[in-house]
Amino acid sequence: MVGRARLNGWLAAGALALGGCEHPVETFKPEGSAEVAFAATEQRQTLRASLANVVTVTLPPAAPATVWQIALHDTRFLKLHADLQPGRAPGGGTVVSFVALTQGTTRLRFVLVPARAEAAAPLDHRELVVTIE
């Protein structure tokens, strides 16, 4: 019995100690912007952005019954700010935006797939290399 009471005491003390070890989450408001638009024939682009910039990517218009998807996104560098949305202008491409979180270089990869297929081979792709300074 004494062993169990002692164990419960240690567990309670450990829980209190760990609760006090939380690090505050660093938050910041997006500042500035960096934008890139892919032409229909461009497969790869590079972009320089500053820390806390909103990085906006415009993809070419999707053909009927197809959609753009994010295939590669490293959340250590870029946080999704606004998910993939059709462009506002008629015939405009799909737009997505991220917030630059950490300095370094990362890649974004987008694939064009049939809208209703669960697991289909990409019909097209785009790659963006983002350097955050």
Which residues, at least 6 apart from 7, have a Cβ–Cβ distance to it below 8 Å?
Answer: none
Could you tell me which CATH class the domain 27-132 is placed in?
A: mainly beta
Can you count the helices (H) and strands (E) in the chain?
Answer: 1, 8
For the stretch 24-59, pLDDT in tens is 445 668 999 999 999 999 999 999 999 999 999 999
Residues 6/12/14/20 CA torsion (nearest 10 deg)? -150
Q: In this structure, are residues 108 and 127 in contact, taking their beta carbons and an 8 Å threshold?
A: yes
| Residues in a beta bridge with 86 | 94
Say if pTM beats, i.e. exceeds, 0.85.
Answer: no
For the chain, the structural domain boundaries read: 27-132
Residues of the chain under the 70 pLDDT cut: 1-28
